[in-house]
Amino acid sequence: MTLYSRSGYEQTEKRTHRALQHALEFARNRKLVQNKRGQLVCSDYELSAVDLRGRLKWTKALCDELEECFDIDGDPIEGGRSFFWFCCADVECAARRYSSLYYAPLKAINHYRRGFRGLNYIAMLEPVIYASFSQNRPPALRHLNHFEQIVSWHTHGLAWGDNRKELRERFNKIEEDELYVPLLPNLKGCWAKFINPEYLGQKVAYMCKTPRVVNRVYCKNPEQFDRDCWTFQQKEAEAQPGQHIHYFKLLAPYTLDQLAFGGGEGSEILQRVKKPFVQRVHS
């Protein structure tokens, strides 16, 4: 089996897009993504971030390139590489849903790049809606109105290298330097964990997914008088039809190659993945 077929991406992504299609047909706010003629407003490029076929093509091309680059034959990976799965989120890449920051994800990419200079990595930028909060809120969210929502542009990615210890130390250093400030003070702005190579396909699938959940934030100890002692919990919930529409609106102006970024070997891999798509555009 190939890396792509083992990832299970196609089945999961088709299920997400069925929910999205249902929202586009029946959600009360579907006119937010339509023009006056009732047509969807989005990119018609092959790699549109809201197109199912584009998502499938992009993820398969990325899996095939990783498979060839790392000499994957079945389950084992040769070459002694260590892989880390990471996620970064920062308060500076989150804003009110109607803020102009939502429509400038490239600023978020440049913000996240700074911590990974010198690493081999591939990452994808994606939005997540924070749909509700308890009355007791973390400092980064106290300026919001009671029913106001925010969108956090965050990133998931894969990093690799020949020395597992050095990679671990590098991510620890990012955390110690507090390069990324989390929305919730008891969470991490950047976390990373070593993964077994057999899970590489699953992580690529998650990295390339269409957003399908929203986050809800709860205060776990609201009885504490001192705000500095509050701890918070973040839970995921399936996106409702109206929230699928908001995700569509956030992603519609962009293409998957715009939302992908990398460094070192990862940058070269992305260039090879993008090349056939770019050539078809210019042919």
pLDDT score at 75: 47
pLDDT score at 22: 97
pLDDT score at 139: 74
The CA R_g of the chain, rounded to the nearest whole Å, is 19
Q: What HEC string does the chain produce?
A: CCHHHHHCHHHHHHHHHHHHHHHHHHCCCHHHHECCCCCECCCCCCCECCCHHHHHHHHHHHHHHHHHHCCECCCCECCCCEEEEEEECCHHHEEECCCHHHHCHHHHHHHHHHHHCCCEEEEEEEEEEEEEECCCCCHHHCCCCCCCCEEEEEEEEEEEECCHHHHHHHHHHHHHCCCCCCCCCCCCCEEEEEECHHHHHHHHHHHCCCCCEEEEEEECCCCCCCHHHCCEEEEEEECCHHHHHHHHHHHCCCEHHHHEEEECHHHHHHHHHHHHHHHHHHC
pLDDT score at 98: 63
pLDDT score at 136: 73
pLDDT score at 59: 97
pLDDT score at 95: 79
Please tell me the distance from the alpha carbon of residue 6 to that of residue 162, in angstroms, as a whole number: 25
pLDDT (tens, 9 = 90+) of the chain, 283 residues, equals: 789 999 999 999 999 999 999 999 999 999 999 999 989 998 888 999 999 999 999 999 999 999 999 876 644 444 578 999 999 999 989 877 665 444 577 789 999 999 999 999 999 999 999 887 767 777 777 777 666 788 999 999 999 999 999 999 999 999 999 899 998 888 899 999 999 988 999 999 999 999 999 998 888 787 777 767 788 888 999 999 999 999 999 999 999 999 999 999 999 999 999 999 988 876 6
- Tell me which residue has tokens 């993504």: 33
Backbone angles phi, psi at 153, to 5 degrees: -85, 110
pLDDT score at 283: 63
pTM, two decimals, is 0.92
